[in-house]
A and B are shown apart, each in its own frame.
Chain A
Amino acid sequence: MPTKILFERIDSIELQGVSKKYGSRFAVESLDLTIEGGELLILIGPSGSGKTTTLRMINRMIEPDSGSILINGQNVMHLDPVRLRRNMGYVIQNIGLFPHMTIEENVGLVPKLEGWDQNRTTERVRYLLDFVSLPPDRFINRYPRQLSGGQQQRVGLARALAMDPPLLLMDEPFGALDPILRKQLQKEFLEIKKEIGRTIVFVTHDIEEAFRLGDRIAVMDNARLLQVGAPEDLIFEPVNELVADIVDTARKFKHMDTLNVKDLMTPLDTKYILEGDLDACHAVEVMKDRNTETCIVLDNGKLIGKLEMVNLLKCEEKNPLVRDIAKPMKVFALRDSVATALSEMKRSGEYMAMVMNGDTICGMLVSDEVLLKLI
């Protein structure tokens, strides 16, 4: 029986004053948190901090004692739980593939219950297996016990994506895997994340994973939310000792002051370069082909500025040359300190800057990448 689609996409998930008590102990205490549509929000904290409870309240596997959870303004408590859950994907650490069903039956379970016919289900399952890098022909008829842990976790992700939900809830999905496999799956997951562009709430206790995957990170401890922000907020401005401890600022970033821009810059890839005399319409095509959202505009080797796909789409009517619409960007010298450069970028809300030596372009400084190199 098909259930109604509750939301095509997520604009926001708002948790307002949410509390959950077990006995006399709070699992989550007056939590206020807004998850924006399209972002990957990490919930991190030591065990018992309330991060999993928070996640499970979003799909009503746990019901809050007080407060409200609104998805696109709809209170989840007013929605039918079965319907609500079919509108979001869910991945857990121990995966929980059903042992009596083949991979196809596992992934296609909810589509079947939604009344899809066999052909459509099989087609969807094959597409999803391919999407998570499992050759469909080899895996579709196997049973879960015939798969390795990593393969099972991929199937778990495929199952979560079966109904193409706008929201994914992930509860330590890579927690049980060995470190190398975990890295590998994180890398693949980043690719998937780019492709599917959904809202994801991701629970982990691994700060490296949080930095690697998260757009924003919410740090919880002892049933309370301590701080929520981008990775650099947590690193540079932890609200208290606990957050600093969790992000491990002291140990990981103590060399930060001694590092120069030169040490952490990325070489400028030609795929990011646009010539200034290109017009906007062609630039859109070029960027689409190169699969990039941002470009650096150069005019005979001279830096003009940066260009974002979003700005280009607006400019299409007049079709100007890219050199005229490129926006100025921050420039740092090779010897500038990374700490200063990053905080300056953060202040102006930019995520990339150019590194120049006099008039020559040496490379780019991308804030996310810098952080990844540091950890």
Chain B
Amino acid sequence: MIEIIHRIIILWEKHLLTMRTIEHLEMFSIALTISVITGVSMGIIIYSHPKIASPVLNFLNILETIPDLALLVILLPLLRLGTGPTIAASVIYSLLPIARNTYAGLKAVDAQYVYVAEAIGLSPKDILFKVRIPLSLPLIAGGIRIALVFTMGVVTLGGLVAAGGLGTVLQNGIQLYEKDVIILAGLWTGILAVILDHGAGRIEKELYKRYGTWQPQR
């Protein structure tokens, strides 16, 4: 037992796993942040302009069907090697679930709340920001959670295009055929993904319970 732990520590240090993990989470956070901001904005925009909703969602759907490896390779000439194409690919994959859920959430808000909001004198902008968006937060969070899993996968794949992160460790393991490294890095990436997804799941559940986290500006 002690021997196994010892081997793990040696491998961990040899392959700079702490640094790789930080790199990995860094890329992951940047990608997810960009995805959330653009995805939610897109959802709101297509909600406000229903005419473009269907073409935009269809376009995102097409992007979604490109295999991730192919997408990374396509982005290479544009964004060079490294973190650029990895983050870009993560965002492209994440847009659909986030934008679609935001759009669906905004549409699904119970009409009676919108009616009352209008009747007590809220402007269309107030209704969007104080009623519709807060009430669709649970669905938006659901979309973000799907995006989180996608992003974790694509960021790991980034090891192929020299993006750093845990994917690089895996890649090295494969190149050198070091089974121990492959197992260790693979398990660790998996555990990270499960932990993050679990956290997101709890947030989502909490949002469902509370219907929304909107608080007035103090």
Contact across chains for A61 and B119 when beta carbons are under 8 A apart = yes
Asked if A256 is at the interface (CB within 8 A of a chain B CB), the reply is no
Asked if B177 is at the interface (CB within 8 A of a chain A CB), the reply is no
List of B residues within 8 angstroms of A318 by Cβ: none
Interface string of B95-124 (1 = CB under 8 A from A): 000000000000000001101111111110
Chain B residue with Cβ nearest A145: B211
Provide the bound-state CA to CA distance between A83 and B218, in Å: 24
Contact across chains for B135 and A90 when beta carbons are under 8 A apart = no
List of A residues within 8 angstroms of B135 by Cβ: 98-100
Within 8 Å by CB of B118, from A61, A83, A100, lies: A61
Asked if A250 is at the interface (CB within 8 A of a chain B CB), the reply is no
Contact across chains for A82 and B119 when beta carbons are under 8 A apart = no
Contact across chains for B216 and A112 when beta carbons are under 8 A apart = yes
Contact across chains for A90 and B211 when beta carbons are under 8 A apart = no
List of B residues within 8 angstroms of A84 by Cβ: 121
Within 8 Å by CB of A82, from B121, B137, B210, lies: B121
Expressed in whole angstroms, the minimum distance between the Cβ of B71 and any Cβ of chain A is: 37
Asked if B81 is at the interface (CB within 8 A of a chain A CB), the reply is no
Within 8 Å by CB of B119, from A3, A59, A113, lies: A59
Expressed in whole angstroms, the minimum distance between the Cβ of A172 and any Cβ of chain B is: 14
Contact across chains for B122 and A82 when beta carbons are under 8 A apart = yes
| B-facing residues in A77-129 (Cβ within 8 Å) | 82-87, 89-90, 92, 94, 96, 98-101, 105, 108-110, 112-113, 118
Contact across chains for B134 and A100 when beta carbons are under 8 A apart = yes
List of B residues within 8 angstroms of A108 by Cβ: 216
Asked if B188 is at the interface (CB within 8 A of a chain A CB), the reply is no
Provide the bound-state CA to CA distance between A222 and B191, in Å: 67
Provide the bound-state CA to CA distance between A367 and B126, in Å: 48
Asked if A159 is at the interface (CB within 8 A of a chain B CB), the reply is yes
Chain A residue with Cβ nearest B210: A100
Provide the bound-state CA to CA distance between A108 and B120, in Å: 12
Expressed in whole angstroms, the minimum distance between the Cβ of B111 and any Cβ of chain A is: 10
Interface size class of B (residues with CB under 8 A): 20 to 34
Within 8 Å by CB of B214, from A61, A94, A101, lies: A101
List of A residues within 8 angstroms of B130 by Cβ: 109
Contact across chains for B212 and A82 when beta carbons are under 8 A apart = no
Contact across chains for B211 and A105 when beta carbons are under 8 A apart = no
Chain B residue with Cβ nearest A1: B123
Known: A100-B134, A118-B218. A94 touches B112 (CB 8 A): yes
List of A residues within 8 angstroms of B118 by Cβ: 61, 85
Interface string of B130-151 (1 = CB under 8 A from A): 1100110100000000000000
Contact across chains for B131 and A98 when beta carbons are under 8 A apart = yes
Provide the bound-state CA to CA distance between A225 and B89, in Å: 65
List of A residues within 8 angstroms of B131 by Cβ: 98
Known: A96-B113, A98-B113, A99-B135. A86 touches B214 (CB 8 A): no
List of A residues within 8 angstroms of B218 by Cβ: 118
List of A residues within 8 angstroms of B214 by Cβ: 100-101
Contact across chains for A82 and B211 when beta carbons are under 8 A apart = no
Q: Which 8 A-B pairs have the closest CB atoms?
A: A96-B116, A100-B212, A85-B121, A86-B121, A100-B211, A99-B211, A100-B134, A90-B119
Contact across chains for A110 and B212 when beta carbons are under 8 A apart = no
Provide the bound-state CA to CA distance between A112 and B126, in Å: 11
Provide the bound-state CA to CA distance between A61 and B213, in Å: 29
Contact across chains for A90 and B120 when beta carbons are under 8 A apart = yes
Contact across chains for A82 and B115 when beta carbons are under 8 A apart = no
Chain A residue with Cβ nearest B138: A100
Contact across chains for A113 and B212 when beta carbons are under 8 A apart = no
Q: List 24 A-B contacts (CB under 8 A).
A: A82-B122, A82-B123, A84-B121, A85-B120, A86-B121, A92-B119, A96-B112, A96-B115, A98-B113, A98-B117, A98-B135, A99-B135, A99-B212, A100-B135, A100-B210, A100-B211, A100-B212, A101-B214, A105-B215, A105-B216, A109-B120, A110-B121, A110-B122, A113-B126
Expressed in whole angstroms, the minimum distance between the Cβ of B138 and any Cβ of chain A is: 10
Expressed in whole angstroms, the minimum distance between the Cβ of A158 and any Cβ of chain B is: 12
Chain A residue with Cβ nearest B212: A100
Known: A96-B115, A100-B134. A159 touches B216 (CB 8 A): no
Expressed in whole angstroms, the minimum distance between the Cβ of A240 and any Cβ of chain B is: 34
Interface string of B192-218 (1 = CB under 8 A from A): 000000000000000000111111101
Chain A residue with Cβ nearest B131: A98
List of A residues within 8 angstroms of B137 by Cβ: 100
Chain A residue with Cβ nearest B134: A100
Provide the bound-state CA to CA distance between A105 and B216, in Å: 7
Expressed in whole angstroms, the minimum distance between the Cβ of A351 and any Cβ of chain B is: 35
Contact across chains for A92 and B116 when beta carbons are under 8 A apart = yes
Expressed in whole angstroms, the minimum distance between the Cβ of B92 and any Cβ of chain A is: 32
Chain B residue with Cβ nearest A88: B121
List of B residues within 8 angstroms of A99 by Cβ: 113, 135, 211-212
Contact across chains for B216 and A110 when beta carbons are under 8 A apart = no
Known: A94-B112, A96-B113, A98-B113. A110 touches B210 (CB 8 A): no
Provide the bound-state CA to CA distance between A370 and B6, in Å: 95
Chain A residue with Cβ nearest B213: A100
Provide the bound-state CA to CA distance between A187 and B214, in Å: 36
Provide the bound-state CA to CA distance between A94 and B116, in Å: 10
Contact across chains for A85 and B216 when beta carbons are under 8 A apart = no
